[in-house]
Amino acid sequence: MNASTPLSPDEIRSLFAQAMSRMYRDEVPLYGTLMELVLEVNAATLARDPSLAARLQRSDALDRLDAERHGAIRVGTPRELATLRRLFAVMGMLPVGYYDLAVAGVPVHATAFRPVDAAALARNPFRVFTSLLRLELIEDAALRDDAAAILEAREIFTPRALALIERFEQAGGLTADEAAEFVAQALETFRWHSEATVSHATYQALLSAHRLIADVVCFRGPHINHLTPRTLDIDAAQDAMQARGIDAKAVIEGPPRRRCPILLRQTSFKALREPVLFPAGDSADAGTHTARFGEIEQRGLALTPKGRALYDSLLARAREAGGAGSTGDYGTRLAVAFGDFPDDDDTLRREGLGYYRYALTDAGRADPSAVARGSVDDAISAGLVTADPVVYEDFLPVSAAGIFQSNLGGGEQRAFAAQSNRDAFEAALGAQVHDEFEIYARIERESLVAVGLAR
Ligand code: OOG
Ligand code: NI
């Protein structure tokens, strides 16, 4: 390839995802252990279940599996969020969904930057869950002003990264050389810095307002706080974590184990306590900070609004039945509640609970007019067409809150009374977030068109 040939956003995203993974493995070696463990579990699962391997192959999910992960960052100001939107756009990552976590006691709201079309997702689905601190939820006005001033004064992007974002916007692409430089420069924004930018006293004051506020405000930038590989069997991965003595979260977030996995199941290891240096001459010049962790997830069928409403109501039933959320024999309550959620692809599809991707079989390719003559169900029962689950590419607010909480030392259970404020989030972002359901529906519709079954 010529150095001046533009690189596609998909290629830049792949380079970036690899570079982030390498950096985080150096920063948090336990993440490397987690990746090895997931590779082993996935290889064993595929060897045990050839039909799963075939299905993943048909829906383009097999090749991307080992490269697949998401990360998470937290920023402090609208300007930071808006610039991140432009940075992620260089890599074909657009904001999808609005997540309000204040209701769960975490003073942030969030979106996920990710690719949206089927080809880009097949290439590399790398996603970054991106939270914006809601400073207005700090009660102490003086502390709130301090935090705002500290954030206003910092610059989380390198001058060269900003210049390359502009270059991309003007030229409509980056050459291979520019892309390599962009990836290296973008990485600087997400690197961990063990030197706090504030005094120990300020750090302590912000920490006692909320641990998360200290994490966002006291450092040079939005360090990546975890990267999450995708496993095909999260129960096996959870057991493997425990067998290796990793301090795993007690409960797997999300739906219970099922024959047909839906949405997203996640578990994590607890955040590490890491040394931090405070500016010289401070009363205490060293301390610790707890923010960075590791996570594993299993992804399943993307649900329609109807399926999602059923999911939300069954999850609420399981959580309410025990009083205080994910404790006690929560696993049993969850399994009982989800007895009411159909667990075979045929029913899920016919009842419109999930999105499916349609493809011609060899027989269907040999006789396309036979496909077009009947209904979708006819074509499937005649063996002309297959229907495979569309993979859920997004996040779940209740699960995300559980992940946040388990990494905040467990002491922060209060909910904020604040209204969810999507308009303010979008104003800060400088754009509207994309609707996840529209994206899945389009992927399903395009597959129907491709097999000649669109009505
Ligand atoms: C983000 C937590 C949410 C997930 O997978 O739900 C998340 C954070 O801790 O910043 O990553
Ligand atoms: Ni996560």
Q: At what angle do helices 50-58 and 29-48 cross, to 10 degrees?
A: 110
The pLDDT tens digits for 46-65 are 999 999 888 888 877 788 88
The pLDDT of residue 99 is: 95
Q: Residue 212 carries which side chain, given as an amino acid letter?
A: L
The pLDDT of residue 250 is: 80
Task: Name the phi and psi angles at 285, rounded to 5.
Answer: -100, 0
The pLDDT tens digits for 166-215 are 999 999 999 999 999 999 999 999 999 999 999 999 999 999 988 899 99
The complex's ipTM? 0.99
The response to whether residue 399 sits with its C-beta less than 6 Å from ligand 1 reads yes
Ligand located closest to 406 CA: 1
Mean pLDDT, to the nearest integer, of 2-23?
90
The response to whether residue 403 sits with its C-beta less than 6 Å from ligand 1 reads yes
The response to whether residue 395 sits with its C-beta less than 6 Å from ligand 1 reads yes
Distance 399 CA to ligand 2 centre (A): 9
Across the chain, mean pLDDT equals: 91
Confidence of residue 326 (pLDDT cuts 50, 70, 90): very low
The pLDDT of residue 128 is: 98
The pLDDT of residue 5 is: 76
Confidence of residue 409 (pLDDT cuts 50, 70, 90): low
- Sorted by where each begins, the domain ranges of the chain are 6-300+392-433
The pLDDT tens digits for 81-108 are 999 999 999 999 999 999 999 888 889 9
Among left, alpha and beta (phi > 0; psi -120 to 50; other), residue 273 is beta
Q: Rounded to two decimals, what is the model's pTM?
A: 0.94
Q: Whose structure tokens read 């976590």?
A: 101
Pick the CATH number of 6-300+392-433 from 3.30.470.20, 3.10.180.80, 3.60.10.10, 3.30.720.210: 3.10.180.80
∠ at Cα 167 (166, 170), nearest 5°? 85
Cα–Cα distance list, 296 to 31, 34, 45, 250, 299 (Å): 10, 8, 15, 13, 10
Ligand located closest to 408 CA: 1
Cα–Cα distance list, 446 to 58, 126, 355, 437, 450 (Å): 15, 22, 12, 14, 6
